[in-house]
């Protein structure tokens, strides 16, 4: 089959690398892709906001399946436009992608389906939001409703911070995303991510992971898209995963199907493991980045076949995904300045030598200029390794990191610390 992959980050490089191993793949195209993805795909220039152009490309190149990496095109309805032209898509339609596109939508769905999640109020103006604050204890969580590139969540430690966050959001500091604001009860516990693949009706688990969102070692400093991750997350025990499937994932899929907006693609659940059980913090309508990198490192099944079955609604007839029991761990190498303004153009060398340490390096934000590889984004490389446990995977990943020559970059040296500490008792 011919596949078009949409996106240009480390997540998409990992998907391209795995799709390229599929016996059923004939040709892979990627729009826009990156130099790492170019090892597996023909890169094409397409404006993904121009749905007609994407449809036309798919018809010209006889594309059998479109795999959408990032959330923005899904929330924008690219899935609808492709399906309307009889093109199969891995990723939900616009209505179901509201699970990521609107936090209020997800909270209301949780309320209808009795899914465990933090208590909340949706508000559409500052006066209502400020009044609603009285019903919450401090700390309290203030969220811009829409897509805000991971920046729309404020954990307010004081009432003043909460009021400032509310005013900022309604004053437009998060653009359209802040036109609505969700106020949420603050949950405590350990966070973990759970993934499931669904064709709208059938659901199969697709592994667990934990990431490190803060830029600094020891999980301090500003939030980022994720500085590293590992899979599996043993805190999500088989019993807890069963509970998450039964109490969170399945009711979500069933409710969306019953309401006529079935969800097709991957569901990425951000969970808080509280004393009273797992609660849903948020949904994403796509794979995590860099969680995807560690999931596909462990995936033993044919990814193209699985994605095709999902898109066709054939998951019930397909064997469930198989994962290696090993731990995969990825270290993000970022450009100096990230998550502020990252320095662009810094030279990157010695990736082949680094991979000889037993790691796989996914390109996240790189470009090729005059035949040289340079940094071209905040998160630049994802150095990913498999080991018998987190300790071994971490050692292998950092052995490779140490071989990479990227002077204008940095990484955290403690990715996986929680799990490594548990392993070392």
Q: CB-based contacts of 413: which residues, under 8 Å, 6+ apart?
A: 217, 398
- Measured between alpha carbons, how far is residue 199 from residues 105, 147, 312, 315, 400 in Å? 21, 24, 7, 6, 38
Of the pair 292, 400, the CB lying nearest ligand AMP is at 292
Of 81, 311, 82, 88, which is closest to residue 200 (Cα–Cα)?
311
Report how far residue 245's alpha carbon sits from residue 109's, in angstroms, rounded to the nearest whole number.
16
Surface-to-core class of residue 346, CB atoms within 10 Å of its CB (0-12 exposed, 13-18 middle, 19+ buried): middle
Q: Please state the separation of Cα 359 from the chain's center in Å.
A: 21
Contact assessment for residue 265 and residue 92, using Cβ atoms and an 8 Å cutoff: yes
What are the CA-CA distances from residue 59 to residues 2, 7, 38, 86 (Å)?
11, 19, 22, 10
Sign of the torsion formed by the C-alpha atoms of 41, 43, 44 and 49 = positive
The residue length of the chain stands at: 425
141, 116 contact by CB (below 8 A): no
Shortest distance, position 226 Cβ to ligand GLY, whole Å: 3
419 binding ligand GLY? (CB under 6 A): no
Which of ligand GLY, ligand AMP, none does 226 bind, CB closer than 5 to 8 A by kind?
ligand GLY
The string over 157-194, giving b where at least 16 C-beta atoms fall within 10 Å of a residue's C-beta and e elsewhere, is eeeebbbebbebbbeeebeebbebbbbbbbbebeebbb
CB of 327 to ligand AMP, least distance (A): 21
- 370: its two tokens: 């005059």
Q: How many residues bind ligand AMP (CB under 6 A)?
A: 14
Residue 228 C-beta: closest distance to ligand GLY, Å: 10
To the nearest whole angstrom, how small is the minimum distance from the Cβ of residue 226 to ligand AMP? 10
Please identify, among the stretches 287-295, 302-310, 342-350, 415-423, the one whose residues bind ligand GLY according to the rule CB under 6 A: 287-295
Answer for which of 22, 123, 279, 284 binds ligand GLY (CB under 6 A) is 284
From the CB of 212, what's the least distance to ligand AMP, in Å?
11
**Residue number, nearest CB to ligand GLY:** 226
Question: Between residue 139 and residue 198, which ones bind ligand AMP under the rule CB under 6 A?
Answer: 141, 150, 153, 155, 184-187, 191
User: Smallest gap, in angstroms, from Cβ of residue 85 to ligand AMP?
Assistant: 33
Do 15 and 69 form a contact (C-beta atoms < 8 A)? yes
- Tokens 């292998």 sit on residue: 396
Using CB under 6 A, which residues numbered 323 to 382 contact ligand GLY? none
- Beta-carbon neighbour count of residue 405 at 10 Å? 12
CB burial class (10 A; 0-12, 13-18, 19+) of residue 395?
A: middle
Name residues whose C-beta falls within 8 Å of residue 68's C-beta, 6 or more positions apart in sequence.
6, 7, 74, 78, 79, 89, 90, 91, 265, 286
For residue 260, the minimal CB distance to ligand GLY (Å) is: 27
Does 231 sit near ligand GLY (CB under 6 A)? no
* Distance from C-alpha of 381 to C-alpha of 332, rounded to nearest angstrom: 6
Site for ligand AMP in 101-140 (CB under 6 A): 118
Please select the residue that binds ligand AMP; options are 77, 234, 251, 270, rule is CB under 6 A: 270
By CB under 6 A, name the one of 288, 339, 365, 409 that touches ligand GLY: 288
Binding-site partner at residue 282 among ligand AMP, ligand GLY, none, CB < 5 to 8 Å by type: ligand AMP
- CA gap 99, 94 in Å, rounded: 9
When CB distances are held under 5 to 8 angstroms depending on the partner's kind, the choice from ligand GLY, ligand AMP, none that residue 33 binds is: none
What does 38 bind: ligand AMP, ligand GLY, none (CB cut-off 5 to 8 Å by kind)?
Answer: none
Q: Which residue of 211, 326, 357, 414 would you call a contact of ligand GLY, by CB under 6 A?
A: 211
Diameter of the chain measured on Cα atoms: 59
- Rank residues 46 and 187 by Cβ distance to ligand AMP and give the closer one: 187
Q: Which stretches of 304-397 are assigned E, i.e. beta strand? A: 327-335, 359-363, 366-369, 372-375, 379-387
Segment 66 to 85, residues that bind ligand AMP, using CB under 6 A: none
Residue (141 or 306) nearer to ligand AMP, CB: 141
Count of residues engaged in binding ligand GLY, rule: CB under 6 A: 7
By CB under 6 A, name the one of 93, 145, 291, 357 that touches ligand GLY: 291
282 in contact with ligand AMP (CB under 6 A): yes
Give which of ligand AMP, ligand GLY, none residue 225 binds (C-beta under 5 to 8 Å, depending on kind).
ligand GLY
Listed ranges 14-22, 240-248, 282-290, 412-420: which one lies at the site for ligand GLY (CB under 6 A): 282-290
Contact positions vs ligand AMP (CB under 6 A): 118, 141, 150, 153, 155, 184-187, 191, 213, 270, 281-282
Report the interface residues with ligand GLY, using CB under 6 A: 211, 225-226, 284, 288-289, 291
């Amino acid at each position: 089959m011919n596949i078009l992959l949409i996106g240009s980050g480390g997540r998409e490089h990992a998907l391209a690398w795995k799709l390229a191993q599929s016996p059923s793949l004939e040709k892979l195209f990627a729009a826009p892709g990156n130099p790492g993805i170019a090892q597996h795909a023909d890169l094409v220039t397409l404006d993904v906001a121009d749905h007609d152009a994407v449809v036309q490309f798919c018809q010209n190149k006889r594309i059998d399946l479109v795999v959408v990496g990032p959330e923005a095109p899904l929330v924008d309805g690219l899935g609808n436009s492709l399906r309307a032209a009889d093109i199969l898509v891995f990723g939900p339609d616009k209505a179901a992608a509201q699970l990521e596109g609107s936090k209020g939508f997800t909270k209301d769905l949780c309320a209808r389906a009795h899914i465990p999640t933090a208590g909340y109020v949706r508000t559409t103006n500052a006066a209502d939001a400020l009044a609603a604050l009285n019903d919450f204890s401090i700390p309290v969580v203030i969220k811009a409703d829409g897509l805000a590139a991971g920046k729309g969540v404020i954990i307010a430690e004081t009432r003043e911070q909460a009021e400032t966050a509310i005013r900022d959001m309604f004053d437009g500091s998060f653009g359209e995303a802040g036109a609505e604001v969700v106020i949420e009860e603050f949950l405590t516990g350990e966070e973990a991510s759970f993934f499931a693949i669904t064709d709208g009706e059938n659901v199969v688990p697709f592994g667990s992971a934990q990431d490190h969102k803060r830029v600094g070692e020891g999980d301090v400093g500003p939030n980022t898209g994720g500085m590293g991750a590992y899979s599996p997350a043993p805190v999500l025990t088989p019993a807890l995963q069963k509970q998450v499937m039964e109490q969170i994932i399945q009711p979500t899929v069933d409710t969306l199907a019953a309401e006529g907006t079935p969800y097709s693609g991957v569901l990425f659940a951000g969970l808080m493991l509280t004393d009273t059980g797992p609660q849903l913090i948020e949904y994403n309508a796509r794979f995590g980045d860099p969680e995807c990198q560690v999931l596909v490192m462990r995936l033993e099944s044919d990814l193209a076949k699985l994605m095709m079955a999902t898109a066709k609604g054939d998951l019930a007839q397909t064997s469930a995904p198989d994962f290696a029991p090993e731990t995969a761990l990825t270290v993000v190498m970022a450009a100096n300045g990230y998550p502020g303004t990252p320095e662009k153009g810094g030279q990157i060398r010695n990736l082949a030598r680094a991979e000889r340490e037993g790691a796989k390096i996914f390109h996240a934000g790189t470009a090729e200029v005059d035949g040289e590889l340079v940094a071209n984004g905040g998160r630049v490389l994802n150095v990913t390794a498999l080991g018998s446990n987190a300790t071994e995977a971490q050692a292998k990943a950092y052995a490779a990191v140490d071989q990479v020559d990227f002077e204008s970059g940095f990484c955290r040296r403690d990715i996986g610390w929680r799990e490594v500490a548990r392993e070392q008792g």
